A = this chain, B = another copy of it.
Amino acid sequence: MSSDKAGTGNGKPSMRDALVTAAFRLFLERGYEQTTVDDIVALAGVGRRSFFRYFPSKEDVVFPDHERCLADMTAFLAAGTGDEEPVRRVCDAARLVLRMYAENPTFSVQRYRLTKKVPGLRAYELSVVWRYERALADYLRRRFAARRDGTLQADVIAAAVVAAHNNALRSWLRSHGQGEASAAMDHALAYVQSAFGDAPAPAAQEQPEDVVVVVSRRGAPLWRVVQEIESTLGRA
């Protein structure tokens, strides 16, 4: 993961940063719709072509760091040894998104307010969120490949992680980016882990996989259920 500040590739302000800064100054002063790409490049003192070298459209300048963060997330998920508890791993991957927002609270809060006001940006944000969710789901699908309901479980857990992340992120943004974002995030993600995780914490000499599952029709006589358990446990 990059530890650079948002939008900064090498520690000194880049042309890309200058474009983002100019764009946000104009968006806040005039409104998003009222600002053109020509206005942005004029304020930043660069040519129109430079803008489109960095950003395919005006919408993209509002979310300058998501591509990097998506790449970081994909790399993080690919870097595992395969022994990680899968739900914990996707929760940790989601934390990378929070970190990106928390790197630059003022910018994140400004963008949050802007996005709430402009339907086109809301739609853009949904498509970004969907890409994060797919990255998490793809990882889980691979990890759950041997499970009968692997794709179902992967999709559901990825959606739950994203929803928990966004719930905590929104609370932080609504509180003007004040305070520690990561405690609320830990709390939110712990809820998902408690619902879906294999084990809340791997204890020393526990074998978490060592469980007995008995599925029985409700109408089955109790002695049949007990017999089934006994034979599964090897005590019969």
Contacts and interface: CB of A to CB of B under 8 A. Distances in A.
Interface of A: 122-123, 126-127, 130, 149, 151-153, 155-160, 162-164, 166-168, 187-188, 191-192, 195-196, 201, 206, 208, 210-219, 222, 225-226, 229-230, 233, 235
Contacts of A123: 123, 126-127
A211 B206 contact: no
A96 B198 CA distance: 32
Contact of A233 (B127, B151, B191, B222): B222
A152 B218 contact: no
Contact of A164 (B152, B217, B219): B152
Contacts of A192: 156
Contact of A188 (B127, B152, B157, B212): B152
Contacts of A157: 160
Contact of A156 (B155, B167, B211): B167
Contacts of A155: 163-164, 166-167
A214 B226 CA distance: 11
A164 B160 contact: no
B229 A222 contact: yes
Contacts of A226: 222, 226, 229
